[in-house]
């Protein structure tokens, strides 16, 4: 019996959020989408809820519990044409990686409230193909293994979803919020950081000392912003964020006692039919107030020797990481420096690809490459040790990854930047940048504020709505 036991396909021209809202408050609901349409990076969106099993990390866990659960059902999915017919969806926290590349143990601090990973095993997935303008409901009948019981469960789950879809109003147009030329620093929000400006500049100086000593070539240093006492609907936060900062790798994941709300522009790792792709991102400039200023910022970024060297360094690191699990000679830099435009910033990205070695799978890939080099530094292990020393707060989900491993072996994860962590009445987000030998502490601090702009505007809009509602 094939993995997909029951399915329904409908014409659909709306956005994924319209569909997701019908299921958003179901247990462990997720949405993985491109809120910025792109012909190759944003073709599919995926929605799921109510997994048949949820696996949360316990102290000392590695990826073995996930692999064990995955292997039970992967045997059913040898031939499947869908990117995510059913599978494991969730996140790995940056704090997970207690073992670095090569098996070297790292003494890491971590946020005790947030598990190192949470994954759901989803038997039913709603898939939207924006290119073909189709919505497919795919039902596997798992975790049942006998044919009759699988068919019965698959049809029952399918019918439940199709009935709910009958009430969905498709919204074809994407609402976009255009940011003003200047934002107040924090406005009326009680937004706090784990660094003062002086402390962040001092941390950059310390990182520069490590670079001059030869410990590292580059390290990513971030600051964390927090807002407390807020009871915003996390789905509304996501809707606002994707309107302020649309991107190709947006995602929402309800882990139960907290939610991950992301509009990330950076892909960590994708595997499709044995081809691996990663897209490290380095180099940032703010958007201008008009087209002329935009062109000036683009030219400045593309001409920057510092930013070019930084991306080259991280691209080389990613090539080395992929070389651990890809066939010899198959790793290639497909694109070295692509300029990408977002609502508040310009950024440059490279694309590295390879062919998976026979006998290697998604779990080998994660072990060899996580966390991403673009958000740690080079060399990776020493950079991570310095991050733990210089950053006063554990990163938790920030710079971890969110995405899926399909039961047929396909993989797609973003890197959790431009991301909110909603924990009860707390909202946290984090922004950072790469420190290299010629970094200027003042400029590095300002770069974090540029990257924080869309996230702050999202909270400001939510805060304005909250004030208006209670007035």
Q: What is the set of active-site residues?
A: 266, 282
SS (H, E, C) the chain: CCCCCEEEEEECCCCHHHHHCCCCCCCCCEEEECCCCCCCCCCEEEEECCCCEEEECCCCCCCHHHHHHHHHHHCCCCCCCCCCCCEEEEEECHHHCCECHHHCECCCCCCCCCCCEEEEEECEEEEEECCCCEEEEEECCCCCCCHHHHHHHHHHHHHHHHHHHCCCCCCCCCCCCCCCCCCCCCCCCCCEECCCHHHHHHHHHHHHHHHHHCCCCEEEEEEEEEEECCCCCHHHHHHHHHHHCCCCEEEEEECCCEEEEEEECCEEEEEECCEEEECCEEEEEECCCCHHHHHHHHHHHHHCHHHHHHHHHHHHHHHHHHHCCECCCCCEEEEEEEEEECCCEEEEEEEEEEEECCCCCHHHHHHHHCCCHHHCEECHHHHHHHHHHHCCCCCCCCCCEEEEEECCCCEEEEECCCEEEEECCEEEEEEEEEECCCCCHHHHHHHHHHHHHHHHHHHHHHHHHHHHHHC
């Amino acid at each position: 019996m094939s993995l997909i036991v029951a399915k329904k396909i409908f014409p659909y021209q709306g956005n994924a959020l319209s569909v997701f809202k019908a299921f958003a408050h179901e247990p462990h609901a997720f949405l993985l989408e491109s809120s910025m349409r792109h012909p190759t990076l944003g073709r599919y969106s995926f929605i799921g809820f109510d997994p048949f099993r949820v696996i949360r990390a316990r102290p000392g866990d590695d990826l073995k519990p996930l692999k064990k659960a995955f292997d039970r059902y992967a045997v059913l999915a040898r031939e499947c044409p869908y990117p995510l017919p059913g599978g494991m969806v969730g996140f790995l926290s940056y704090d997970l990686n207690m073992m670095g590349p090569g098996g070297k143990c790292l003494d890491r601090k971590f946020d005790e409230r947030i598990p190192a990973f949470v994954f759901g095993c989803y038997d039913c997935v709603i898939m939207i193909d924006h290119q073909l303008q189709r919505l497919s409901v795919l039902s596997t009948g798992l975790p049942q293994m006998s044919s009759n019981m699988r068919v019965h469960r698959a049809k029952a789950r399918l019918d439940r979803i199709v009935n709910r879809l009958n009430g969905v109003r498709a919204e074809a147009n994407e609402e976009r919020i255009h940011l003003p030329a200047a934002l107040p620093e924090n406005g009326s929000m009680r937004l706090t950081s784990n660094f003062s400006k002086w402390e962040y500049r001092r941390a950059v100086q310390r990182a520069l000392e490590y670079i001059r000593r030869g410990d590292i070539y580059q390290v990513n240093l971030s600051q964390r912003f927090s807002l407390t006492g807020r009871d915003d609907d996390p789905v509304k936060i996501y809707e606002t964020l994707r309107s302020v900062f649309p991107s190709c790798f947006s995602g929402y994941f309800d882990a139960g006692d907290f939610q991950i709300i992301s509009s990330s522009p950076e892909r960590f790792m994708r595997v499709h039919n044995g081809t691996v792709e990663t897209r490290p991102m380095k180099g940032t400039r703010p958007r201008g107030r008009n087209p002329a200023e935009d062109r000036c910022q683009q030219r400045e970024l593309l001409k920057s020797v510092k930013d070019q060297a930084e991306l080259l360094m991280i691209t080389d690191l990613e090539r080395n990481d992929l070389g651990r699990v890809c066939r010899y000679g198959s790793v290639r830099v497909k694109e070295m420096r692509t300029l990408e435009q977002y609502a508040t910033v310009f950024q440059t990205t490279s694309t590295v690809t390879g062919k998976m070695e026979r006998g290697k799978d998604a779990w080998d890939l994660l072990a060899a490459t996580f966390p991403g080099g673009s958000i740690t530094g080079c060399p990776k292990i020493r950079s991570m040790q310095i991050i733990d020393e210089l950053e006063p707060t554990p990163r938790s989900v920030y710079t971890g990854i969110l995405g899926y491993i399909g039961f047929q072996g396909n993989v797609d994860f973003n890197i959790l930047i431009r991301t909110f962590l909603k924990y009860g009445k707390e909202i946290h987000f984090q922004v950072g940048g790469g420190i290299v030998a010629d970094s200027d502490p003042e400029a590095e601090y300002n770069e974090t504020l540029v990257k924080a702009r869309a996230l702050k505007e999202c909270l400001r809009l939510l805060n304005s709505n909250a004030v208006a509602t209670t007035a």
